[in-house]
Amino acid sequence: MDSVRDNLVFGLESWPEAGIQCEFAIAPQFFLEKLKAADLSIDRGTGLEQLVKPATSVRGRIELELTGRRLLVKGAFAVKVEFLCSRCLSPFLGKVADSFNESIDLVTSPNNRLNSEFLDGQIAVVNNQFDLIPLLGEFFWLAYPVKSLCRPDCAGLCPRCGANLNEAPCDCSEAKTTRH
């Protein structure tokens, strides 16, 4: 196993026959910058920094095996992220983690952008190098929860006054409304 890498850019020159195995630790700001550059952000009406706030480095392991222009990528990653609870809107620390096993075609980039992603199953090669952070970004978004809860029994906000019901019951929550 190689030492811990701070990026996922690999060169095709002198590729080891046994492949590459390494661990990685990508700084939060660098990971966000690479996601922006690869245009992998999901526009939910806010900027990427508002949606994703990594609290730790993105850490993981990766195994790469090259056969011609086809790359087998196996690995896993985990990162602690500051979420906003979907029910009470309180910030809390959670985890985004996943494992992956993909077969990718390495395709020469027509615009010389190393982080340029092509069709599914393809990665750009520029100057005999390729960057796997855009692929890691896709795995990150696939593992990112649609709804995140600060705790399983989160009571949420009062629909009338907006009080956080996890902190204390509000006066209006006891009033019953009758539907006809």
> Tens digit of pLDDT for each residue in 129-174?
998 988 898 898 889 888 999 999 999 999 988 899 999 988 884 5
Two structure tokens written together for 177: 């409304």
pLDDT digits (tens, 9 = 90+) for 102-124: 999 988 876 655 554 555 678 88
Res 76: pLDDT: 97
Higher pLDDT, 173 or 33: 33
Write a three-state SS string for the chain. Answer: CCCEECCCEEECCCCCCCCEEEEEEECHHHHHHHHHHCCCCCCCCCCHHHHCCECCCEEEEEEEEEECCEEEEEEEEEEEEEEECCCCCCEEEEEEEEEEEEEEEEEECCCCCCCCECCCCEEEEECCEEECHHHHHHHHHHHCCCCCCCCCCCCCECCCCCCECCCCCCCCCCCCCCCC
Average pLDDT, the chain: 82
Given pLDDT bands bounded at 50, 70 and 90, which one contains residue 179?
very low
Q: Locate tokens 């095709």: which residue?
A: 12
Res 55: pLDDT: 87
